[in-house]
Chains A and B, each alone.
Chain A
Amino acid sequence: MRSPSKKDGSRLRAVILGSGNIGTDLMMKILRSDLLECVALVGRNLSSPGLTKAASMGIAISTDGIGFIEKNPDCCDVVFDATSAISHAENSRKLNELGVLMIDLTPAAIGPFCVPPVNLTAHVGKGEMNVNMVTCGGQASVPIAYALGQAHDDIEYIEVVSSIASRSAGPATRRNLDEYIHTTESAVKLYSGARFAKAILNLNPAVPCINMQTTIFAKIAKPNMEKFAECLQSVVRQVQQYVPGYEILIGPKIDNDRVVTMLRVIGRGDYLPAYAGNLDIINCAAIAAAERFARQSLQITPSLKVVQ
């Protein structure tokens, strides 16, 4: 992480790439943060709702894409990439050269997965320059899978079933269902140690819109429900620090020979409606990650320059 040369010296400066729903919601969250400052929202279409909102709030906007940062290399310390997997690959390459931290919300998954309660500390400690926020289902289920892994040595299989409101799934989500499934499965397996994992996504068109709901099933030979409940409580508390609307609805319990945990995520409603908890949780996780990196880097006093 480069030495922050900040204007007021107390915040990490952030640029958001991508002015769609995710990017705009991120902007609203950054504006609420004590540790982050929103330098600019960068999109493609000047008349998009996101850029229009940003402009109306006095936030700098640009349609220059990655060029905005290339032209002002010193303008920010962290970039949130909410564009697309294709764009991200190029964005990441260019920004790493400039020593800027990249938080990737696309399915590109160039950098390691980041699920805050599980591995954020480790990433910050290692000075990672590109972290990937997995998927919305991943952010919801990996903490549970992690708790399962902490309580059990031998997990045969974990299955994650998420239902989200149809309205919260835009064209990008719908085009990338396969990526969503494969990425979520990878993350769940990785952080639980389960031998196999499966992810399922349901889009529900019911109105009023349903909140994001995720059920985690686990096939475990010798379930240790007490230990799991303990680990679960701990990890859920950690998630609730950055996602207040994250709540265990049912369980953990054993139903039909599997360990079942059902949770719901109600979004903060910063920009996206509260039912879009799926989009909110990935954004909240991204902000949590950035704030952690901010806490780390802002401890560096100005006299201690980090040599590039």
Chain B
Amino acid sequence: MQQAADSKFILMSDPSLRDGNHAVGHSLTPDQIAAYCRIAENAGIPIVEVGHGNGIGASSLQLGQAAAPDSALLKAARENLKRTLLGVHVIPGFATIDRDLKPAMDAGVDVFRIASHCTEADITDRFLNFSRKQGKTTYGVLMMSHMATPEILLEEARKMEASGAEALVIMDSSGTYLPDDVRIRIGKLVENLSIPVGFHGHNNLSMAVANSIAAVEVGATILDASARGFGAGAGNTQLEALVAVLHKLGYKTGIDLYGVLDLGDYAEENLMKVVPTVSSTSIVSGMAGVFSGFLKPVRRIAAEYKIDPRDIFFDLGKRGVVAGQEDLILESAEKLAKAKLAKVS
């Protein structure tokens, strides 16, 4: 990934077509992918990320079944991106090298972002090595990064760096951070790693853009943001707004303003069912530190069991559930329903 020697250049990576899938039950179609990619290419978006919300190979009953297989989505994207790079999110334990990584390479994916929960970096070692050896741009990603201290986060990042990650992105998967939280973590990583550092924000507490700017102020050079914030729960950092703010602050992104605004409009009209808002449940999940992607299943199960979804979130937060443990929502609901019944009787 060629980056300008310019220290004011921020590399934008757009996960609308991946994280956004969480908001629509992973139902994005190849046609939607194709159309979005064409507009993104025109706007000069550097990287577009495509796939199931939990990455390639994650389509499952547990995490939600995708309407179209990874191969179809990647094909649609690849055919409509020329200068813009095509990226994928990969979580070992959901995806495997043979079944998912290799086909994605054959499909022409450029950027492989190998992700783990923030304390389990060593599960990405084989994937990082494999991708790197194939000459692909390879990032390491630490999810739910609020669940580790800055020191532990650095250690885990070091593991990924040692395995050959070419950049390190930390995610605020539950939208829990405030700007100072971001400054401490990103700052520590920038001081101690030799690879670029990036930030992926979520908007549960309405802080995503501010958090992203804080990251950049302490040396992050990669930011993730989605069109119109298309993403799980309260949505990701809003791409158009972030680009506008970055430009206003004198940073360069290579993105055309009108182009990215058009992208936001397109996403609103054609991809999402509702524009992400900072809803009550989003605020609660942000405060509880629970993965934003749990919103839909929590709402559904809460309705079924006739309990307050906010109570489920706080319970899950106490249990320290990590992404991928959607089955525990059911368990939490059962427990709370029983307790409610006990109180009544």
Contact B147 A260 (CB under 8 A): no
Whether B275 is near chain A, meaning CB under 8 Å from some CB there, is no
Complex Cα spacing A177 to B92, Å:
7
Contact B117 A205 (CB under 8 A): yes
Contact A202 B93 (CB under 8 A): yes
Residues in chain B near residue A219, CB distance under 8 A: 61
Whether B324 is near chain A, meaning CB under 8 Å from some CB there, is yes
Whether B62 is near chain A, meaning CB under 8 Å from some CB there, is yes
Given known A-B contacts A178-B97, A206-B319, A217 and B61 have beta carbons under 8 A apart: yes
Whether B123 is near chain A, meaning CB under 8 Å from some CB there, is yes
Given known A-B contacts A200-B93, A202-B93, A262-B330, A217 and B62 have beta carbons under 8 A apart: yes
Whether A166 is near chain B, meaning CB under 8 Å from some CB there, is yes
Contact A166 B119 (CB under 8 A): yes
Contact A159 B62 (CB under 8 A): yes
Contact A178 B98 (CB under 8 A): yes
Given known A-B contacts A182-B96, A201-B93, A171 and B322 have beta carbons under 8 A apart: no
Contact mask for chain B residues 68-102; partner A; CB cutoff 8 A; 1 contact, 0 none: 00000000000000000000000011101111000
Whether B194 is near chain A, meaning CB under 8 Å from some CB there, is no
Given known A-B contacts A174-B122, A181-B96, A182-B96, A262 and B325 have beta carbons under 8 A apart: no
What is the minimal beta-carbon distance from B89 to any residue of chain A, in angstroms? Answer: 15
Contact A177 B60 (CB under 8 A): no
Residues in chain B near residue A260, CB distance under 8 A: 330
Count B-side interface residues using an 8 Å CB cutoff: 31
Given known A-B contacts A161-B327, A177-B93, A260-B330, A204 and B60 have beta carbons under 8 A apart: no
Residue on A nearest B327 in the bound complex, by CB: A215
- Residue of B123, B126, B330 near A203 (CB, 8 A) is B123
Whether A255 is near chain B, meaning CB under 8 Å from some CB there, is yes
Whether A94 is near chain B, meaning CB under 8 Å from some CB there, is no
Complex Cα spacing A182 to B97, Å:
11
What is the minimal beta-carbon distance from A154 to any residue of chain B, in angstroms? Answer: 17
Complex Cα spacing A187 to B320, Å:
31
Whether A122 is near chain B, meaning CB under 8 Å from some CB there, is no
Q: Most chain-A Cβ atoms within 10 A of its Cβ — which of B93, B322, B328, B331?
A: B93
Residues in chain A near residue B99, CB distance under 8 A: 182
What is the minimal beta-carbon distance from B210 to any residue of chain A, in angstroms? Answer: 28
Given known A-B contacts A175-B126, A177-B93, A203 and B62 have beta carbons under 8 A apart: no
What is the minimal beta-carbon distance from B16 to any residue of chain A, in angstroms? Answer: 25
Residues in chain B near residue A174, CB distance under 8 A: 120, 122-123, 125
What is the minimal beta-carbon distance from B137 to any residue of chain A, in angstroms? Answer: 22
Contact mask for chain B residues 141-182; partner A; CB cutoff 8 A; 1 contact, 0 none: 000000100000000000000000000000000000000000
- Residue of A157, A161, A166, A249 near B331 (CB, 8 A) is A249
Residues in chain B near residue A159, CB distance under 8 A: 60-62
Whether A198 is near chain B, meaning CB under 8 Å from some CB there, is yes
Contact mask for chain B residues 304-345; partner A; CB cutoff 8 A; 1 contact, 0 none: 000000000000000111101101101100100000000000
Given known A-B contacts A178-B98, A217-B62, A250 and B120 have beta carbons under 8 A apart: no
Complex Cα spacing A181 to B324, Å:
15
Residues in chain B near residue A205, CB distance under 8 A: 117, 119-120, 147, 320, 322
Residue on A nearest B318 in the bound complex, by CB: A206
Residues in chain B near residue A217, CB distance under 8 A: 61-62
Contact mask for chain A residues 153-180; partner B; CB cutoff 8 A; 1 contact, 0 none: 0000101010100100001001101100
Residue on B nearest A255 in the bound complex, by CB: B330
Residues in chain B near residue A201, CB distance under 8 A: 93
Residues in chain B near residue A262, CB distance under 8 A: 327, 330-331
Residue on A nearest B61 in the bound complex, by CB: A217
Residues in chain A near residue B126, CB distance under 8 A: 175, 177-178
Q: List B residues 101-124 near A (Cβ within 8 Å).
A: 117, 119-120, 122-123
What is the minimal beta-carbon distance from A167 to any residue of chain B, in angstroms? Answer: 11
Complex Cα spacing A142 to B264, Å:
47
Residue on A nearest B125 in the bound complex, by CB: A175
Complex Cα spacing A206 to B300, Å:
25
Complex Cα spacing A198 to B93, Å:
11
Contact mask for chain A residues 204-220; partner B; CB cutoff 8 A; 1 contact, 0 none: 11110000010101010
What is the minimal beta-carbon distance from A169 to any residue of chain B, in angstroms? Answer: 8
Q: Most chain-B Cβ atoms within 10 A of its Cβ — which of A166, A175, A204, A206?
A: A204
Whether A53 is near chain B, meaning CB under 8 Å from some CB there, is no
Residue on B nearest A219 in the bound complex, by CB: B61
- Residue of A171, A175, A177, A202 near B325 (CB, 8 A) is A202
Q: Most chain-A Cβ atoms within 10 A of its Cβ — which of B93, B125, B324, B327?
A: B327
Residues in chain A near residue B62, CB distance under 8 A: 159, 161, 200, 215, 217
Contact B60 A198 (CB under 8 A): yes
Complex Cα spacing A205 to B117, Å:
9
What is the minimal beta-carbon distance from A259 to any residue of chain B, in angstroms? Answer: 10
Contact B123 A204 (CB under 8 A): no
Residues in chain A near residue B117, CB distance under 8 A: 203-205
What is the minimal beta-carbon distance from A115 to any residue of chain B, in angstroms? Answer: 22
Residues in chain B near residue A204, CB distance under 8 A: 117, 320-322, 325
Whether A258 is near chain B, meaning CB under 8 Å from some CB there, is yes
Given known A-B contacts A171-B122, A198-B60, A219-B61, A250 and B322 have beta carbons under 8 A apart: no
CB-defined A-B contacts under 8 Å, sample of 14:
A159-B60, A177-B92, A177-B93, A177-B96, A178-B126, A182-B99, A200-B60, A202-B325, A203-B120, A205-B120, A215-B62, A217-B62, A260-B330, A262-B331
Interface residues in chain A, defined as those with a beta carbon under 8 Å from any beta carbon in chain B: 157, 159, 161, 163, 166, 171, 174-175, 177-178, 181-182, 198, 200-207, 213, 215, 217, 219, 249-250, 255-256, 258, 260, 262
Query: A-B pairs with the 4 shortest C-beta distances?
Result: A206-B320, A215-B327, A217-B61, A178-B96
